[in-house]
Amino acid sequence: MRVIDLKHPDREYVLPVGGCGLCLGHFDGVHTGHAALIDALVAMNKQRERPLPLGALCFEEPPAVTLMKEPTPQITTLAQKLRFLGAAGLSFAVLYDFSAIMHLSPADFVADVLICDCNCRLAACGFNYRFGAGGLGTADDLARLFGTQSDRRLAVVPPVMRGGRPVSSSVIRTLLENGHPDDAAVLLGHPFMLDGTVESGRHVGRVLEAPTANLTFPRGGLVPAHGVYAVLVRLGKRQYPGICNVGTRPTFEDGDDVICEVHLFDFSGNLYGREMRVSFLRFLRKERAFASAEALKTQIEADIRAAKAFF
């Protein structure tokens, strides 16, 4: 996916000269609601005699980093977000610095950003999209300011419903923080994932005869409920089933740092320094302290049996 960084416009690529179509939003998680925006944009583009390049307008850093003392934890990193948007069929992403445009009025955002900077001719947004200073602009305002202009069209996409309520990043966060990664995956359209580089640990897993690869969660990223999960791990071009523990390892009094310890089934070899992608599929049990290492070992054996039964 091409990245167009408007904070540094000469860094990589420039916007298409003949105009473009843009999905508008923050896209945390790139969930099924966001997929509906992309579908609406693609449908409008097919009606044009000359189709346009299609992309997304989003931010280098989440707006919450600027607006909140304690920013909302993010389901996806920027790299994951761009990967998902590209896989969904968009060819580029326009990255804006939120703090540079947060003071624009809704009218100025449309005129200066969408029309002047991006030469946007097609746009798609959600029913609850907000823009402009203080989030005062609504989807209705965007329809008036942008959608009524000559050769510019806007699709306002209604909520995507699951279980009687709209799909949203906040609902997905709640599911993940409460140990429901399988339910979250239904709303996301893909599992919650952790990408990272394997770090050296204390080798406790080897003592317990279940060697683990240690990953840390990204700064500002969502940490799912502490406990043991059945996971699918991508390592290079191969995938391995396994289990992971998210938490602080209370049996060994390791402090407050949260890590993800991953044990791969049917794998042997050195993983230190390698890139790994962990997909969370099923929550097996909560993290808890055990009276001894032997008691923990017995529980890990039970966890492995439960995960293998799941697979």
Tell me the residue range of the domain where 151 lies. 2-162
User: Among the listed ranges 12-21, 89-98, 162-171, 221-230, which one has the minimum average pLDDT value?
Assistant: 12-21
Give the domain-ending residue among 162, 179, 212. 162
Residue 46: inside a domain: yes
**For the chain, what is the domain count?**
2
- Euclidean distance between CA atoms 234 and 195, whole angstroms: 9
- Are both 154 and 251 inside the same structural domain? no
- Could you report the per-residue pLDDT of 73-128, keeping only the tens digit for each? 999 999 999 999 999 999 999 998 888 889 999 999 999 999 998 999 999 999 99
Q: Tell me: pLDDT of 294 over 60.
A: yes
- Could you report the per-residue pLDDT of 128-168, keeping only the tens digit for each? 999 999 999 999 999 999 988 888 999 999 999 988 888 99
Higher pLDDT, 205 or 233: 233
- Are both 26 and 155 inside the same structural domain? yes
Check residue 62 and give its pLDDT.
Answer: 84
Check residue 206 and give its pLDDT.
Answer: 52
Higher pLDDT, 202 or 282: 282
Higher pLDDT, 206 or 65: 65
Check residue 70 and give its pLDDT.
Answer: 86
- Are both 155 and 267 inside the same structural domain? no
Residue 171: inside a domain: no
User: Among the listed ranges 27-31, 99-103, 182-186, 250-254, which one has the minimum average pLDDT value?
Assistant: 250-254
User: Among the listed ranges 39-48, 121-130, 246-255, which one has the minimum average pLDDT value?
Assistant: 246-255
- Give the domain CATH number at 197: 2.40.30.30
